[in-house]
Amino acid sequence: MTHKDLPHITEYKTLGIVLLILLLLTFTTIEVTSFHLRAATVLVALIIAGVKGYIVLTYFMHLKHEGLLLRILVSAVFLLYAVIVIITFFDYLYR
């Protein structure tokens, strides 16, 4: 059995740390919305949501154990997401 065939088991300690990081980022998002930064508030909240999504993909969906092709495809989805957010902000800015 090769290293690729072995099951990917993440320790409970690691999952607990990831949970605490996600909760910290959630509370950070809540605190950011209390500041009046206008459109930047939404931008910061979306950046934090993107980081949280990356953490979930990496640890809970075991993306760090996958091959290069799947990582490239997931990165392409994040790039498309970023482009759509940027287009939305330009639409909001010039309205």
For 44-90, what is each residue's pLDDT tens digit?
Answer: 888 899 899 989 988 888 888 788 898 899 889 889 988 998 899 88
pTM of the full structure: 0.72
Tokens standing for residue 82: 């970023």
CB-based burial label for 69 (10 Å; 0-12, 13-18, 19+): exposed
